[in-house]
Amino acid sequence: MNKYTILLLSLVLLSSCASPGGMRIDNYPMYGQPEISRPDFLQKADEDFINKVGTEFGDRKKASTMWWQQGDKFANEGNLDYAMRRYNQSWLLDPENYQPYWGFARVKTATREYEEAFKYFKKANELIDDPYQKPALLTDTALGYHNKANSLDKNNTQERDKYFTLANSKFEESTKLDPTYPNAWAAWAHSLYFQDNYKESWVKVKKALELDASLVSDTLLQNLKNKMPEPLQKK
């Protein structure tokens, strides 16, 4: 076990008291602040955590990214509680880092708290200073809007159209920033299928297939074929 793992495990019990509603404070983004005041003993624990990490790693910004990466690992495993705790620690280490806000948004999207997710996506997009990661953040933002639209009743066409339009805007921004990022094309194709825009979905599918065929599911391809024959490529 490396020093980083030992340190991380030694800090997992920090900030674990419950909120008035019964949920652990560290399962709220930014520990519920500013709406939920931070008790003095937890503020002291936060300071101890920050100082210990600073001593061990020497660079709080890099450490913030490391804790965010741990959060993403838990999020990808479906362990949203542990993910949120790591994102919160990442935020403590560097509140100006876009990554923990991205993490908060991911968790809130997964729990279908979409308006909360949009708030943190907005903050992450405002703070991001990494052009390499920007297309991925925009794609996740687009998927948040897609999921919101798709969660609404199909008769609620005005609201669905509003959120699908926002999703398309973010997908477009992502693909313009990096036309070689396959995840954006694949996700956009999926979203357009649910918008009943089969022609444009085919366009995005073919782009995704060119870049990384593994990202396009057989289910999407078959569903598209059932709705609209594959358009012939122009010579």
Mean pLDDT of 55-68: 87
Is the bond preceding 231 in cis, omega lying within 30 degrees of 0? no
Check residue 184 and give its pLDDT. Answer: 97
The residue range of the domain holding 107 is 1-125
Residue 2: what pLDDT?
38
Give the model's confidence band at 143: pLDDT under 50 very low, under 70 low, under 90 confident, else very high: very high
Please tell me whether the overall predicted TM-score, pTM, comes out greater than 0.95 for this model: no
Task: Write out pLDDT tens, residues 190-234.
Answer: 999 999 999 999 999 999 999 999 999 999 999 999 999 988 665
Whether residues 136 and 95 fall in one domain: no
Percent of the chain past pLDDT 70, that is, above it, reads 89
Q: Are residues 148 and 210 in the same domain?
A: yes
The amino acid that residue 178 corresponds to is D
Per the structure, the count of domains in the chain is: 2
Q: Is the pLDDT at 19 greater than 80, yes or no? A: no
Rounded average pLDDT over 108-135: 96
10 and 121 in a common domain: yes
* Across 151-172, average pLDDT: 97
Tally Cβ neighbours within 10 Å of residue 114.
19
Average of per-residue pLDDT across 81-95: 93
The CATH number assigned to the domain holding 121 equals 1.25.40
CA dihedral over 40, 59, 81, 182, signed as positive or negative = positive
For residues 27-54, average pLDDT:
78
